[in-house]
């Protein structure tokens, strides 16, 4: 079996290589951080399994799920498996929805990982059942969360979503309860970890604010 890993964590990539490469089932294991040449590498190496970390850090503006969706448009038959440090339903649902063949927690033992990858290679999908109940956010709550994380004020959120400020406040209260947080900063931090918000969107928001601030200073 040939495996190609896409991950921004060098230590994890090396550890996984050490754990898998001695097994006779593994014909080839390679890893990359080069997103720009990833399609070319896939076409050249023809991996049986493409492992993609859900959080790609600064490698690309896309998260692992967005990258998977993009790659499946180019390579519809490629078996792609999502890796995540957070075994959460919001990730698993989206991974399954976009066509990934599996979702695996990074906490999995090497022997179990190999077994899962072999079954996926043989055509079986792998989406583990939820172990800990985490109440998911509604569509309305997610929209409010995304706007708050982008720096939009409550009044503007109400105007954009055509709801009252009271409804915005109610949504935020429900989000705090579901995510078990007590501050906006904690809410955003946890939302990023849970996959509700892409970290790149927060970075772009900060860049826009900085740009606006510098523009105001010049004027």
Run of H or E residues at 50: strand 49-53
Within a domain: 15: yes
Residue 59 lies in a domain: yes
Chain centre to alpha carbon of residue 152: 23
pTM of the predicted structure, to 2 decimals: 0.64
Q: What is the mean pLDDT of residues 94-108?
A: 92
User: Comparing C-alpha atoms, which of 93, 5, 3, 6 is closest to residue 56?
Assistant: 6
Q: Phi, psi at residue 60, to the nearest 5°?
A: -160, 160
Q: What is the domain-level CATH number for residue 183?
A: 1.10.10.10
By residue range, what is the domain housing residue 26?
Answer: 2-121
Q: How many domains does the chain have?
A: 2
Q: What is the side-by-side order of every strand in the sheet holding 2-6? A: 28-32, 2-6, 49-53, 80-84, 102-105
pLDDT band at 165 (very low <50, low <70, confident <90, very high): very high
pLDDT band at 202 (very low <50, low <70, confident <90, very high): low
The confidence score (pLDDT) of residue 214 equals 52
The stretch 186-208 carries a mean pLDDT of 70
Residue 20 belongs to some domain of the structure: yes
pLDDT: is 203 or 177 the higher one? 177
């Amino acid at each position: 079996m040939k495996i190609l890993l896409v991950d921004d964590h060098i230590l994890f990539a090396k550890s996984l290589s050490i754990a898998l490469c001695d097994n006779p089932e593994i014909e080839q294991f390679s890893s990359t951080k080069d997103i720009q040449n990833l399609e070319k590498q896939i076409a050249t190496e023809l991996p049986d399994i493409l492992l993609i970390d859900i959080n790609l850090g600064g490698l690309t503006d896309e998260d692992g799920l967005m990258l998977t969706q993009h790659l499946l448009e180019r390579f519809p038959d490629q078996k792609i498996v999502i890796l995540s440090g957070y075994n959460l339903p919001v990730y698993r649902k989206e991974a399954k929805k976009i066509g990934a063949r599996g979702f695996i927690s990074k906490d999995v033992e090497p022997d179990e990982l190999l077994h899962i990858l072999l079954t996926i290679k043989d055509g079986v999908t792998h989406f583990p059942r939820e172990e800990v109940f985490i109440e998911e956010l509604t569509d309305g709550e997610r929209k409010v969360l995304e706007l708050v994380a982008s720096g939009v004020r409550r009044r503007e959120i109400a105007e954009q979503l055509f709801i009252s400020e009271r409804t915005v406040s109610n949504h935020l209260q429900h989000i705090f309860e579901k995510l078990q947080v007590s501050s906006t900063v904690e809410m955003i931090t946890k939302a990023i970890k849970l996959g509700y918000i892409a970290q790149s969107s927060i970075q772009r928001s900060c860049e826009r604010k900085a740009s606006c601030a510098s523009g105001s200073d010049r004027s």
